[in-house]
Amino acid sequence: MSKNEFLEKLREALANDLDAAAVQDQVNYYSQYIDGETGTGMPEEAVTAELGDPWAIARTIIDSSGNRDYEGEVYGHASRQKSGDKSKGRESRDPYGQVRVSGFHVTWRMILAVLGILGILMLVIAVVGGIISILAPVVVPLFVVLFVIRAIKERKR
């Protein structure tokens, strides 16, 4: 199916359930996506075949249209707050209309921080253990000799 046929079917499928601006946003997104893929040398028909049925895509978008941000704009499967997610990273959409925000979620940052602290702790333990293993063959006999000398001096008194 050609790009125009795909976009027209998508527009028809979305028109009854979404407002005109949301329909236009989705059509523009898929138009840009198809243009981008054809720019890499992939034929239009292959791109639209890879995307799948425009009616199925429209159904997914419509089903997720309950996910709106504070200004009421539709963002496919995910929503975002205007001031919240913009600072986390760059936003893009996949072929199914889902919003993808690149960058780390707060939970992942916390996990990375804990793992980093554990890594540093393990490094410190390894260094201390290494120092002890190097010094033990010298220090232990030294303490034994000192203990024996002290014991002998104590007996003489």
Q: Where are the alpha helices (DSSP H) in 42-105?
A: 44-51, 54-63
Secondary structure of residue 92 in the 3-state scheme:
strand
Range of the domain at 7: 3-103
Q: How many structural domains are present in the chain? A: 2
Q: What is the pLDDT along the chain (157 residues), one digit of tens a residue?
A: 898 999 999 899 888 888 888 889 999 999 999 999 899 998 989 989 988 888 888 888 888 876 444 334 444 444 333 344 444 444 455 555 555 444 556 788 889 999 999 999 999 999 999 999 999 999 999 999 999 999 999 988 7
> Do residue 13 and residue 73 come from a single domain?
yes
Specify whether 29 is located in the same domain as 39: yes
Cα separation of 22 and 79, whole Å?
13
Contact between 77 and 99 (Cβ < 8 Å): yes
62 and 89 co-located in one domain: yes
Does 108 lie in the same domain as 71? Answer: no
Whether residue 41 is found in the same domain as residue 97: yes
The residue out of 81, 103, 125 marking a domain boundary is 103
Please check whether residues 34 and 91 belong to one and the same domain.
yes
What does pTM read for this prediction? 0.43
Which of 88, 103, 118 terminates a domain? The answer is 103
8 A C-beta contact, residue 3 and residue 28: no
Query: Helix, strand, or coil here: 7?
Result: helix
**How far, in Å, CA of 95 to CA of 76, rounded?**
10
Question: 24 and 68 share a domain?
Answer: yes
